[in-house]
Amino acid sequence: MASTAFLSSFSPSSSLQLCSSFNGDYLAPSRCFIGAPVTTTSSLSLSGKTNSYSPKKFQVSAKKVSGLEEAIRIRRMRELETKSKVRRNPPLRRGRVSPRLLVPDHIPRPPYVESGVLPDISSEFQIPDSEGLVKMKAACELAARVLNFAGTLVKPSVTTNEIDKAVHDMIIEAGAYPSPLGYGGFPKSVCTSVNECMCHGIPDSRQLQNGDIINIDVTVYLDGYHGDTLRTFFCGDVDEGFKKLVKVTEECLEKGIAVCKDGASFKKVGKRISEHAEKFGYNVVERFVGHGVGPVFHSEPLIYHHRNDEPGLMVEGQTFTIEPILTIGTTECVTWPDNWTTLTADGGVAAQCEHTILITRTGSEILTIC
């Protein structure tokens, strides 16, 4: 599930919030799936390896873009703008959100469900033992099956409420709990983010339209472990430019995963993703990050998808997500008053994909496949 690299207070009564203004230190005025700032201080010793995070002010640095890269980006934007004139769906509007679905009492809940409070990020890396790894793989495999099923429901006139209900039913029939439900007050069992919605879209009564793209984010809690995955699907006849964006986003995920192995630097993930996205003139959203996952929904390490100089090395046995978001236009965002739904500020479409992976001695294993 997409997570954020920043946090500050958010007023439920506020109007749309612009998420990109900064001056040195940066706090984003919106609420999202990770509940603490990334500027944490911790020292972890795992398998004889140490990752130190020293206290410091978080600063935003910008990569100097070459003239060629900028020219490619502008040309790509013009191409997509021309195609958009042929067919452009109306701006996303919130529909009616149905009541929260019930979960049978016999199904175990994650600890955060009862509190209703957005949990802090755990500072502990998720490294399951042999028994835990079996459970982790089962949770991830279930999440992958549910996501595949959800994708078959994507058709014009289907509502995201209907997708939520189908996903919810499949998860509880498997004896699992839909992890988003009740997480910091999130009211649904899955996130459905359509067109310009970057992430954390709340399912509602809006019908999918021919030409939409939709990011479906599935996380399940099974036998004490979370499995987290997502993909962007096509609804009907989709613009070729939008298809290209989704394809490149998937390639970025693959390239990010390819650099992962025991001892690899976390910052290599963002470097590889950024390099590939820039070849096609796309922009990588910095605000939302991957995260450790296992018995805890969100933990360190935080996985940045853009170029960065964050410290830390991967450790054999770790489980975490990589989940880049690419946009055609700006990476600035607005958040609806529901405190969750996050859209591109310029209305341009966004695409995202995600896997949960396990770090091995020589590489990594994708767990969210079936």
Per the annotation, binding residues for a divalent metal cation are: 217, 228, 291, 323, 354
- Alpha carbon distance 226, 139 (integer Å): 6
The residues near 311 (Cβ < 8 Å, ≥ 6 apart) are 51, 52, 53, 266
The three-state secondary structure class of 308 is coil
> If you search the block for the tokens 């890269």, which residue do you land on?
69
Annotated binding site for substrate: 200, 298
Residue 177 contacts residue 171 (beta carbons within 8 Å): yes
Q: Return the closest-CA partner of residue 179 out of 287, 294, 288, 289.
A: 294
Q: Return the closest-CA partner of residue 312 out of 44, 26, 126, 60.
A: 44
Residue 237 burial class via C-beta count within 10 angstroms: exposed 0-12, middle 13-18, buried 19 and up:
exposed
Annotated binding site: 200, 217, 228, 291, 298, 323, 354
Strand partners, 2: none
Amino acid code (one letter) for 300? E
The residues near 284 (Cβ < 8 Å, ≥ 6 apart) are 252, 270, 273, 274, 277, 305, 306, 324, 325, 326, 331
Q: Return the closest-CA partner of residue 198 out of 46, 66, 323.
A: 323
